[in-house]
Chains A and B, each alone.
Chain A
Amino acid sequence: MRLDKYLPYALLLPSLIWIIMIIGYPLIYNIWLSFHKSTYGIELGPFIGFDNYIKIFLTDDVFWGDFINTVIWTVGNLFFQTVIGLGGALLLNQAIRGREWIRGLVILPWVIPTVVVSLVWRWILEPDLGILNNILHYLKLITQPLVYLGSPSLAMLSIIMINTWRFSPFAIVLILAGMQTIPRDVYESAKIDGASPVATFRYITFPLLSPILTFVGFIAFVWAFNMFDLIWLTTEGGPGNITETLPVLVFRRAFKEYRMGQAAAITTFMFLFLLAFSFLLIKRRRG
C-alpha cells in the first residue's frame, strides 16, 4: 500500500502540535479574552461582547494616535533600513580592500543585545552629558544642547535612527547575498553595450533584486510594527505619547493598568492588520 502521501503529515505532526500549543492556543485564548472585561491576575471577567473594541476604536483617547505613531515608526524604519541596506550592499559588493573584514564588522550592531543598544544610545543622546552633543558643541555646530529623546519633534526620528543602526546590517547581509546571485555576464553585456552605472543599477540590479528587497521590506515592516523593547527602553513611549506605538500601548494596558481585555483587543487588531497586509503583499507579488 502506498503510504508515502501520509508520511509527510506524520512527520509534520510534532511541529504542528507544538505550533498549536505555543501559537494557536494563545492566539485563540487572546481573542476570547478580548471579549471579556478581564483584569490581569484577578479573573477572566464577564463576557462583554465587542465592548472592548468599541471603547478602543471609538472612545479611547490614545489608540488612533498610537496607531498613527506605529505607522510612522514602521514606515520610517522600512524606508531607512531598505535604503541603507541597499546602499551598504552596493558598497560592499565593490572590489575594495579589506572587503571581507568590513563585511564581518558591519554585522556587529545586529548582534548586540537590544537592552545594551538602548541603554548606550540613551547615554550617547543625553543632551548635557552625552557624547553626541559634546562633539557637536566642540565642532561649534550647536551652541545649546539638542534634546533628542526628550523632544516631541526629534524623539520619533531618534528612535527610528537607533533601530535603523541596529537592523540595517541584517538588511545589508540579505541584499548582498541576493546580489551574489545576479549573473556576472548580465553586467558584462550591459558594459559592452555602454550602459552607465546608474542605468545598470536601474535596469539590471534593482529589478533583479526586487524579490529580495520585497522580502527585506516585509521583514523590516513586521519586525518594526511589533517592536516593543527598544521603544520601551529608550523613551517608554514618551515624551507625551509621541513615540507610543501599539505594542507599547498593549504593554501599558495589560501590565500597568491591568486592563487585559482591552490589551487583548488591541493585539487582536494588530494580528488582523498584519494578516491583511501580508495577504495583500503576497497577492500583489503573485499578480
Chain B
Amino acid sequence: MTTQKVDRRGLLRVIGGTVAGLVVGGALGYLLKPTGVIERTIERTVPTTVTVTQPVTVTAPATPPPVTPPKKPIELVYWHHEAPSHRVAAHQKVLDLFYKETGIKVTQQVVLWGDAWTKTLAAVKAGNPPDFELSIPDLTLAVYEAGGLAPVDDIIKMVDEKYKLFDNVKMCYYWDGHFWGVPIWEMVWTWLYIPSYYEKYLGTKEPPKTWDEALEYAKKLTVDVDGDGKIDIYGMGETGAKNLCTQEYAWNIMTTFGASVFDDNGNVVFDSKETIEALTYYKKLWEYVPPGALEWSWGEIELAFAAKKIAQMPYFPAIQKRFYEKEDPAERKDLAAAPMPTNKVSANLHYPNDAIIFTKTAEDPDRLDAVMRFIEFVHRPDINAILTAEQEPGAFLPCTEAAVAPESPYWKDPIISFYPELNRIAVEAVRKGTLYGFGPKGLQNKKMGEVSGALVLAEVVERIVTGAMSVEEAVKWGHKKIEEIVKG
C-alpha cells in the first residue's frame, strides 16, 4: 500500500479552514440568537410575590375602551394549545378585534398539548417564556412549581367585579393564599344520550337520575338489532385504557358519590367507601360497553357515539357538533343531554382553562398592563362568545355569569341555538363542576399535578375492568400509589 505525502501547507490549510468555520458558525449563532436568551442567565427562577397592582382603566362593556396609544409599542405573544385551524381562526378574530380597539398587537403561537408541559417548563427554565399562556390546572401547577408564575389576584378581582366568575371555576387556581391563573373558558361533562333509542328500547324519554337507573338502561339498550349474534348498539360508553380520557371518566363517577383524592388538608383519602361504591358501578356498567373500549381514547369513543353505536354516556357536550353536521335532519336532532346521574352528590367533571402570566411579564409594568387589558377584553361577553361558542361549540363554555346571561351573544351561535336545552344543561354543569385535587377552598395538595400525570385514577380503573384486581384491591393500590407520589 502506498502512502501519500501531505505537505505542511495543505495540513495547515485544512486545520485553519476547520477552525475558521467553527468560529464563524459560533459567532453567527451568537449574533443571531434572540437577545432575551443572551442577556438572561439561566438560573432557577424563584417564585416572586409581585402582586398585580397596576391600575386598570375599565369602561362599561357597551362602550369600547378609548384607544390610548401605549408609551412604547407593545407586542404581546401568547401560547395556546388548540391546534385545529378553526380554533386558531377564532383566536385570530379576537386578536384582530383587540388590535382594532386598543392598538396593541397580540400574536398567538400554537403549542400542541403533547408538548405543552415540556416546552413551557423549558421556556421558564431558559428565561424566555411568552408573555402569557392559556393553560389548565395541572399545567398551571407545574409552572408554579418551576417558579415561573406571577399571582393574578387583582385581575381575578377585576373580572369578578365586572363579570362574576363562577366560584368553583376560579378556586381551581387558588393556593398558597393567591390566585395563579385567570379562568378564560370552561369544559364540562354532561350525560349524553340518543333519545330515539330511549323511546324505542326503554319506552321512555326520561334520562336516568341515578346510577342504578343508568345501569338498568344500559342493560336494555345493549341490542343485537339484526339478530346476527353481534351486538349493534351498546348500552354504555366508558373507556378503560390508562389515559386521560379514562381518568376523567373515573373522576366523573367518583364525584357523584362524594369521593375524593385528597381532603382539604391535603391528606390522601382515595381509599374510601365512596370511591369503592363509585368504581363498583363503573365495573358494573363496563359489561355494556363496546369490546374495544379497553384501548379507546377520545377519538374512538366520540366516533362510536356519533355513529350511534353507543346509546348513552357521560362526555363533553362538544359532540353536538358531530350531530349538527349530519345530513339527515332527524339524525341531527337525535341527541340530548341531562344532568349527570347521581346516587349522592349532584356534580360532574369540569376542566377550566385559564390564562397564566409569567414572572418575566409581571416585571414589566407596560407589558403587564397590556396583558391585563387583553384578559379583561376576552371576558367581555361578545368577545368571550368567540372564544367559546365560535371556537368550539359545546366544548368551551363561558365561566362568568355575564357570559351566560340570556342576552349574551353566546346563545346566538348557530350550533348552540340548535340545541338550546342541551346547552342550558351544559351551562348548569359548569356551576356543579368539580376536579380531582381541588375543593371549595382551592387546591388540596400540590402533588395533584404528579398524581394526574401518573394517571393513577386511570390505572385503578384499568386494573378493575381488566379483572387484574377487585375494586377494593385496586382502590387500595391506587391509594398507596398516591401516597408514594405525595411523599416524593
Residues of chain A whose beta carbon lies under 8 Å from any beta carbon of chain B: 1-4, 6-7, 10-11, 13-14, 17, 39-43, 122, 126-130, 137, 143-145, 147, 149-152, 235-240, 252, 255-258
The 3 lowest CB-CB distance pairs between A and B, nearest first, are: A41-B121, A150-B294, A150-B295
Q: B17 to nearest A CB, angstroms?
A: 10
Quick check: A126 and B454 within 8 Å, CB to CB? no
Q: In chain B, residues 407-457, which have Cβ atoms closer than 8 Å to a Cβ of chain A? A: 450, 453-455
- Across the interface, do B11 and A13 meet the contact criterion of CB distance under 8 Å? no
Least CB distance from A107 to B in Å reads 30
CB distance from B484 to the nearest CB of A (A): 9
Q: Could you tell me the distance between the alpha carbons of A145 and B147 in the complex, rounded to whole angstroms?
A: 51
CA distance A1 to B118 in the complex (A): 54
Beyond the given A7-B14, A11-B14, A256-B455, could you list 18 further A-B residue pairs with CB under 8 A, ordered by the A residue number?
Answer: A4-B3, A10-B18, A40-B118, A41-B125, A126-B300, A128-B290, A129-B309, A143-B230, A150-B240, A236-B241, A237-B242, A238-B294, A238-B295, A239-B240, A239-B241, A255-B117, A255-B118, A257-B485
State A149–B145 Cα separation when bound (angstroms). Answer: 37
Instruction: State the CA gap A236–B295 with chains docked (Å).
Output: 9
A257 to B453, CA, bound (A): 5
Report Cα–Cα, A255/B115, bound state, in Å. Answer: 10
Minimum distance in angstroms from A141 CB to a CB of chain B: 13
Write out the residue numbers on chain A whose beta carbons fall within 8 Å of the beta carbon of B22. 14, 17
Q: How far is the CA of A235 from the CA of B145 in the complex (A)?
A: 31
A130 CB to closest chain B CB, in angstroms?
A: 8
The residue of chain B having its C-beta at the shortest distance from the C-beta of A143 within the complex is B229
Closest Cβ neighbor of A252 among chain B residues: B454
Complex Cα distance, B292 from A252, in Å, reads: 24
The majority secondary structure among interface residues of chain A is loop
Q: Are A239 and B466 in contact (CB under 8 A)?
A: yes
Contact indicator B292/A10 (Cβ below 8 Å): no
Known: A3-B11, A128-B309. A256 touches B454 (CB 8 A): yes
> Contacts A7-B14, A41-B121, A41-B124 given: A145-B243 contact, CB under 8 Å?
no
Indicate if the CB atoms of B241 and A2 lie closer than 8 Å.
no
The answer, yes or no, to whether B4 is at the interface (CB within 8 Å) is: yes
User: Do B292 and A127 touch across chains, with their CB atoms under 8 A apart?
Assistant: yes
The total of chain B residues at the interface (CB under 8 A) is 52
The contact of A127 among B10, B240, B290, by CB within 8 Å, is B290
A43-B44, A144-B230 are contacts. A3–B121 as well, Cβ < 8 Å? no
The answer to whether A256 touches B453, judged by C-beta atoms less than 8 angstroms apart, is yes
Task: Kindly state whether residue B169 has any CB partner on chain A within 8 Å.
Answer: no
Interchain CA distance A23-B147 in the complex, whole Å: 30
Binary interface profile of B, 282-307, with partner A (CB < 8 Å = 1, else 0)?
A: 00000000111111100010011001
The reply on B463 being an interface residue by CB < 8 A is yes
Number of A-B contacts (CB under 8 A): 121
B interface residues with partner A (beta carbon < 8 Å): 3-8, 10-11, 14-15, 18, 21-22, 44, 117-118, 120-122, 124-125, 142, 145-147, 229-230, 240-243, 290-296, 300, 303-304, 307, 309, 450, 453-455, 462-463, 466, 468, 485
CB distance from A155 to the nearest CB of B (A): 8
Choice from A7, A239, A255 contacting B295 with Cβ under 8 Å: A239
> How far does the Cβ of B468 sit from chain A's closest Cβ, in whole Å?
6
Contact of A236 among B146, B242, B293, B304 (CB under 8 A): B242
CB distance from A242 to the nearest CB of B (A): 9
- List, in ascending order, chain A residues with CB within 8 A of B7's CB: 3
CA distance A9 to B220 in the complex (A): 78
- CA A2 to CA B2, docked complex, whole Å: 13
The verdict on A14 contacting B18 (CB below 8 Å), with A41-B122, A258-B450 known, is: yes
B3 shortest CB reach to chain A, Å:
6
B119 nearest CB neighbor, chain A only: A41
Residue of B nearest to A253 (CB): B454
A129 to B121, CA, bound (A): 39
Q: Which chain B positions have C-beta within 8 A of A255?
A: 117-118
* A149 proximity list for chain B (CB < 8 A): 295
Q: Are A145 and B292 in contact (CB under 8 A)?
A: yes
Q: Are A145 and B291 in contact (CB under 8 A)?
A: yes
| Min CB gap A177→B, angstroms | 28
Chain B residues closer than 8 Å to A39, beta-carbon distance: 145
Q: Are A238 and B462 in contact (CB under 8 A)?
A: yes
Given contacts A126-B300, A137-B230, contact A240 B121 (CB under 8 A): no
Shortest A121–chain B CB gap in Å is: 12
Which partner residue on chain B sits nearest A11 by CB separation? Answer: B14
Q: In chain B, what residue has the closest Cβ to A149?
A: B295
Nearest CB on A from B245, distance (A): 11
Residue from A10, A14, A255, A258 with most neighbouring chain B CB atoms (10 Å): A258
In the assembly, what is the distance between CA of A126 and CA of B301, in Å?
12
In whole angstroms, what is the CA distance A54 to B229 when docked? 53
Q: What's the minimum C-beta distance from A138 to chain B, rounded to whole angstroms? A: 11
Asked whether A10 and B11 contact (CB < 8 A) given A127-B290, A255-B117, the answer is yes
Residues of chain A within 8 A of B117, CB atoms compared: 41, 255
- Known pairs A1-B8, A43-B44, A129-B304; A258 contacts B453 (CB<8 A): yes
Q: Could you say which residues of chain A place their CB within 8 Å of the CB of B463?
A: 240
Q: Chain A contacts of B243 at CB under 8 A?
A: 236
Q: Shortest CB–CB separation between residue B259 and chain A, in angstroms?
A: 23
| Assembled-state Cα–Cα distance A153/B291 (Å) | 14
Cβ-closest chain A residue relative to B4: A4
Q: How far is the CB of A259 from chain B (nearest CB, A)?
A: 8
- Within 8 Å CB of B142, what residues of A? 41, 258
Instruction: Select B466's contact among A40, A126, A236, A240, beta carbons within 8 Å.
Output: A240
23 contacts between A and B (CB under 8 A): A1-B8, A3-B6, A3-B7, A3-B11, A4-B6, A7-B6, A14-B18, A14-B22, A41-B121, A41-B122, A43-B44, A126-B292, A129-B303, A137-B230, A144-B230, A147-B294, A150-B241, A150-B291, A236-B243, A238-B462, A239-B466, A240-B463, A257-B485
Structural contact, A257 and B450, CB atoms closer than 8 A: yes
CA distance A252 to B456 in the complex (A): 12
A15 to chain B, nearest CB (A): 11
Chain B residues, Cβ within 8 Å of A143: 229-230
Q: Say whether, besides A11-B14, A240-B462, A128 and B291 are in contact (CB < 8 Å).
A: yes
